[in-house]
Amino acid sequence: MSTSHSKWTAADLPAQTGRTIVVTGATSGLGAVTARELARAGAHVVLAVRDTRRGEALARGLSGSTEVRRLDLADLSSVREFAEGWHGPLDVLVNNAGVMAIPEARTADGFEMQLGTNHLGPFALTNLLLPHITDRVVTVASNAHRRPGVDIDFDDLNSTKSYSPWRAYQQSKLANLLFVRELQRRLTAAGSTVTVHAAHPGYAATNLQSGSAGAGQRLVLAIANRLVAQSEEQGALPSLYAATQPLPGASYTGPDGRGELRGYPAPAQLSANATDDTKARRLWDASEKLTGVGFPATLDH
């Protein structure tokens, strides 16, 4: 990335006129900012959200062309319904929705909630929409994947033997990056020009932290949000950059400040586990078995 992009902001977004972009989890936080800025730049933005009433309320306040469609990533039937209802080309899919360090819960399909919402739901959605996607897929990951000891527990992927809110979150974010890596490999092998990218917001003050397990943790995070975190607008910049800028496949973008906590879009650091092709393929196989969804047999691009 050239130094001319070191202070890249939403004001630098190129015109998105004529492009259709899906943003999941667009009712609040980073997703709302991402949707707002892409619509402002001229894209037709589809807000893929669980609560369509909140989505419609947000969409009314956005400039540009928007549309609200229901999507619950914690329910594969909802994911399939969303994908089956899609017709025509889709330029960009932004897998933004996620949950963080929540008390133990299960999705409609019995998956651990963080793995299901953050990885398995987006895995299924992306593969089902892939025949329509013409440009790129962006998945929002996290610095948390680089914490010491974070790995994919293939013996207890769904945390049925034991559950730790933070360990499950970290695993799901590592899964995001392994998914990006393996999906790019498959697209390249298939001769597709579609590219796949990851981005992380650093430490951004969003409502994601409010669902964290334990009142003590929530208090610490609330204080950190006030003292350390950057704004949602700043936190959304890596996603906006990854969605619109010329980047190599399997790129990873985050803030350029110390520890990648704050700053402007720049190449981000991956853990050794996040670049392990064997783990990426093994996770892909496990995800296919769990969701019943795989890489499409044919692509139109």
Tokens in use for 206? 């969003």
H/E element, 177 = helix 165-189
Report the relative pairing of strands 90-95 and 133-140 from DSSP bridges.
parallel
Set 163, 169, 203, 252: catalytic member: 169
In a domain, 240, yes or no: yes
| 169 is known as an active-site residue | yes
Residue 159 falls inside a structural domain: yes
pLDDT tens for each residue of 29-87: 999 999 999 999 999 999 999 999 999 999 999 999 999 999 999 999 999 999 999 99
Q: How far apart are CA 261 and CA 254, in angstroms?
A: 8
The DSSP bridge pattern shows strands 251-255 and 265-267 to be: antiparallel
Query: Considering its fold, how many domains does the chain have in total?
Result: 1
In a domain, 131, yes or no: yes
- Is 289 within a domain? no
**Which range marks the domain in which residue 55 is found?**
15-202+235-258
Residue 48 lies in a domain: yes
- How wide is the angle at C-alpha 105 spanned by C-alphas 252 and 31, nearest 5°? 35
Question: Is 0.85 topped by the overall pTM?
Answer: yes
Indicate whether 163 belongs to any domain: yes
Encode pLDDT of 243-277 as tens digits: 999 999 999 999 999 999 999 999 999 999 999 99
Task: Evaluate whether residue 41 is within a structural domain.
Answer: yes
60: domain CATH number is: 3.40.50.720
Note whether residue 277 is domain-resident: no
212 pLDDT more than 90: no
φ, ψ of residue 108 to 5 degrees: the values are -60, -25
Return the percentage of the chain with pLDDT > 90, whole number: 86
